[in-house]
């Protein structure tokens, strides 16, 4: 359910460029197989953030079929790198094929691996991390990401408002009470984190945005 009023949502949708053929195919795939993917406004935000920050090394938790990966990877310079984790083999294979067709295979390292183990095994300094996997694991991902993010680096987490249920505290048909409670705790955690300066945007399903101090 959109967080914005229908009129604002329609206005923004009417001013958005249509997806190119590949992205349209991926969106249709997501719809057909009920794969949760970022809506276009969140994808565009990811692309703009990656471009605006000049990100060269990006982490992603939750590839699915690669829609958010595509928005991020298209913002990378030719020698940039995006490492993304996914535990579902079928989705990982689909994402690999789509990113290959996008001509971005050189820039992306799509790993069929639990992100908790994958992040723990990484080192180095990363510019931007996008979190969009199991909602109950966000705090664990964040701990590892903070170890990997350079000072001034950005963490972006999707579904921060969970159809607005995080604001009301009441479950809906999409978000059960346990996840709503987890989502509320995560927002409090990010906004109060001593190593982060953070905000929450009402874009898509809500996006938490935090810069590492
Ligand atoms: C919301 S979808 C990701 C959508 C994708 N970011 C996009 O917008 O195109 C979440 C994905 O995270 C994956 N996932 C869940 N737990 C995970 C974990 N611990 N490590 C890696 N992937 C995980 C799920 O299999 C699912 O495909």
Q: What is the pLDDT of residues 117-143, one digit of tens each?
A: 999 999 989 999 999 999 999 999 999
The residues facing 72 across adjacent strands are none
Q: What is the distance in angstroms between the CA of the first residue and the CA of the last residue of the chain?
A: 33
Per-residue model confidence as pLDDT tens digits over 20-47: 999 999 999 999 999 999 999 999 999 9
User: Average of pLDDT values for 182-193?
Assistant: 97
The residues facing 109 across adjacent strands are 83
Cα–ligand 1 centroid distance for 37 (angstroms) = 9
Report whether residue 72 contacts ligand 1, using a CB cutoff of 6 Å.
no
Q: CA-to-CA distance for 117 and 18, rounded, in angstroms?
A: 37
Question: Torsion over CA of 189, 191, 192 and 196, rounded to 10 degrees?
Answer: 100
Q: In 20-106, which ranges are E strands?
A: 57-61, 81-86
Report whether residue 86 contacts ligand 1, using a CB cutoff of 6 Å.
yes
Q: In 45-185, which ranges are E strands?
A: 57-61, 81-86, 108-112, 126-131, 149-158
Of 129, 114, 112, 121, the C-alpha closest to 59 is: 129
């Amino acid at each position: 359910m959109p967080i914005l009023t229908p009129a604002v949502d329609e206005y923004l949708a009417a001013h958005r460029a249509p997806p190119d053929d590949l992205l349209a195919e991926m969106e249709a795939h997501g719809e057909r197989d009920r794969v949760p993917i970022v809506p276009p406004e969140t994808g565009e935000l990811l692309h703009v953030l990656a471009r605006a920050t000049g990100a060269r090394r990006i982490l992603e938790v939750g590839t699915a079929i690669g829609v958010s990966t595509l928005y991020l990877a298209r913002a990378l310079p030719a020698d940039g790198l995006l490492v993304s984790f996914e535990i579902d083999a079928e989705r990982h294979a689909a994402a690999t094929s789509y990113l290959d067709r996008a001509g971005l295979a050189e820039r992306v390292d799509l790993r069929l691996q639990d992100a908790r183990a994958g992040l723990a095994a990484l080192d180095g300094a990363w510019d931007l991390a996008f979190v969009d996997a199991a909602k109950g694991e966000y705090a664990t991902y964040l701990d590892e990401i903070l170890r990997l993010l350079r000072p001034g680096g950005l963490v972006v987490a999707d579904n921060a408002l969970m159809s607005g249920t995080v604001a009301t505290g009441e479950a809906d048909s999409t978000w059960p009470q346990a996840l709503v409670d987890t989502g509320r705790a995560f927002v409090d955690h990010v906004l109060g984190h001593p190593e982060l300066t953070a905000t929450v945007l009402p874009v898509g399903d809500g996006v938490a945005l935090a810069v590492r101090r």
